[in-house]
Structure 1
Amino acid sequence: MLKFHFTDADMARIRMAGGPDPLWELLLSLHLLGGHDGSVVFGAWKRRIRNRLPGSTRLLLDLAPPRGYSADFLTPAPDRGGLETGIDAVLSTPRGGLRRDIARLAAARNLGARTLSLAEAGSDAMRSLGAALRGYYDVALRPYWAEVRNAIEADRALRARALLDGGTEGMLSTLHPSLRWQPGVLTVASAYDRDIRLDGRGLLLLPSFFCWRAPITLRDPGLPPVVVYPVAHDLGWSRADDGRGHDAREALGTLLGRTRADVLAAVADHGGSTSDLARRLVVSPASVSQHAAALRDSGLIVTQRRGQSVHHSATTLGSALLEGNLQIPQEPSRSC
């Protein structure tokens, strides 16, 4: 059992993450990809991505095996800056932290030469790690980020109601069946026995789409305390992509480029300001602004100013392209 011990100051510093964390979702999706769990919920997703993954995914699977310890440095403290900010934090891990985490991994299993080289924090090794993280995210997570975000927003709404109805203690008691709250102590079912004293640092609660079966935390007690717990899933979330809508978006990604197609899909989904879209897509506002300008020039979105910000929405043409419903009339035949 893991036991988190709270002081009064810790109770005042319990926080709920504002949305999905790209690096935690990346890590936990690697656990699922490398193992056999969750086939009912994640089986279609695994089949869809497995043959598309870059070869560099092997490095990530070394760092995040489906059982046992995963490298703590892959999940720095969650930051609303998005994927690139998180990757920058990973690549800035001090050499001592890299050596410690790699040594823990190597004590349990054989590691590839590229993985072992990370312990020295060499520039080539770290560039390879950054490229591997980006390449995996683009194939395994980016096309499904709307589903991830929506499921986590639904969970946050549930926790907000639990907090209003039962206070902080009531909310903690509803997070997951394997979490048990007693005055001053949050117990997490685990194969390891450990007491974690928060000592005024508070606790971050992080709902996760790819977390499966049970909540988890970081191995290193000196890192910012976090409990990552699974959210509820629609069992058909990835199988729904097997139809024409997914094929249309794949083709659109080839035509426009993946990020530009994602911006169009996000605009068609709920619309929003440039900063809203950047947060949802885990890209920079400058990137969204650039792609939005190109989509607007092509007649796929419209942009309206609302006070100090702008709001983007899809045109009929943009929505039709996303859904694969665009019908282009044929030229009338001409007789000679």
Structure 2
Amino acid sequence: MDKQLFYKEIGQSLFNGRLSPAQRDGMEVKLEAFDRHGITDKRWRAYMLATSYHETARTMQPIEEFGKGKGRPYGQKRKCDGTPYTHPDKLYYGRGDVQLTWYENYHRMGKLMGIPLLTCPELALDPDISASIMVEGMTRGNSNRGDFTGVSLEDFFNDRVDDPVKARKIVNGLDQAQRIAGFYQKFLAALQIIMVVVLLMMVGCKPHQVVAERIVTRTDSTALRELTDSLLWQERETSFLQTDVNRAREEIIHLGSVTRQHRIQYDTTLPVDSTTGRPPVASEVITTMQSRLEKMIEDEETGHGERSGVRESIARERRHRTLTVEKQAHEEKVRLEKTPTLLRKPSLLWATAVVCIALLVLTVRFFWRKKV
């Protein structure tokens, strides 16, 4: 799997071209977990990545629920059936890539994975453990069922069914189902581009030629058939690929200058937003290397201003020269109008002189003969 191409594509489509090292590392851990658990269906991979993208507020890192369950039933020392508990002295609010909640879920997942998750719920924040919890809970893993809600990816993505909207029932009913389905489509497209690269390399296209090529955006099975047909046009399109490579290199330079830390703080004293399912944002802090990015932007804006000034100066000089030429032409025209016709046309003046001399000679000869 060409992960570099995957990160490039998904960075453009879902992260506004600014994929941070932390986000990249988070996806790397999950991709390794998919390989470790034998997850080969790209639809399953894409939907789990989309779920993590939504539940972790785009960080792609396991996080604690904002507010730590305050105002929620699981934010108290009670089980799903309402029975209170005193041990362990822990609260089982949302943690990890899927925001695992409730006493029973921590207990069940800990037993399935062989870790003391009930007594140490903080383990769900470990990236590797969190990724394994997501895979186990969303597939028919060791328990042969979907451990979160009873349904799993096998129920919504198989040979007969492809339903990324209803797949939200695996984690949390239909909450934000359409939105997560949109994230899924973009993750799936990024994963499928890797298949495009393999096919292009099989027909002789060099790796650097397809770095930034975005060929397949649809997700149905006909995309591959259409891709096979499009390979016949490879030579005609090769000339455009170098331009994409150059653009990709420029973008990589900019990506290398983005922040390495993105922290969002939420105001838990205010009501939860019904759309996002989270409290309003109190502050958003972007640190590390931000000054370098701003400097790059500032330098670019300064350079653009200087270039604009040079262009305006050249335009003014051209206008001045045009006006000077027009003025001289006008003065020449006026001078010619004031000059007698004969003086303005030297050839006519010489012709007149020759005629006069000829007439004079003829006149003299006429009178001379008459006198003789």
Identify, as 1 or 2, the structure richer in strand: 1
Using the size of structure 2 for normalisation, the TM-score is 0.27
Task: Answer 1 or 2: higher relative contact order, Cα 8 Å, separation at least 6.
Answer: 1
Bigger Rg, structure 1 or 2: 2
Q: TM-score, normalised by structure 1?
A: 0.29
Structure with the higher helix share, 1 or 2: 2
